[in-house]
Amino acid sequence: MDEVKYPVLTEKTIRLLEKNQYTFDVDQKSTKPEIKKWIEHFFHVKVKSINSHIPPQKKKRIGPIIGHLTRYKRMIITLQSGYSIPLFSNK
């Protein structure tokens, strides 16, 4: 699925893994129900809740032209207890 771009691994998202929360960057047009359905189907887990936000745009300068980097939406997905995404498992 092209809507989920990649998982986010930062210091904060690694701390969120202890609370069973996983962070993904997704397409800006994606909705919470679409992402929930896709995550549950692809990883065979139960999603408890989803929080989303759109980070502010960053400017990029190339010579005299000032442009903007691509926009994305960040989703923080909380799974029900007993479930985990194998992409992040310690085993």
Token output for 6 = 């990649």
For the chain, the domains span: 4-57+66-80
The DSSP 8-state label assigned to residue 87 in this structure reads G
Nearest one of 90, 68, 91, 85 to 8, comparing CA atoms: 85
Tell me the pLDDT tens digit for each residue of 64-84. 888 887 788 999 999 999 998
Measure the CA–CA gap between 25 and 6, rounded to whole angstroms. Answer: 6
25 pLDDT above the threshold of 90: yes
Task: Label the pairing between strands 59-62 and 4-7.
Answer: unpaired
Structure confidence at residue 90 (pLDDT): 55
Measure the CA–CA gap between 63 and 24, rounded to whole angstroms. Answer: 32
CATH 3.30.70.330 fits 4-57+66-80, yes or no: yes
Let me know how long the chain is.
91
Provide the β-strand partners of residue 73. 26
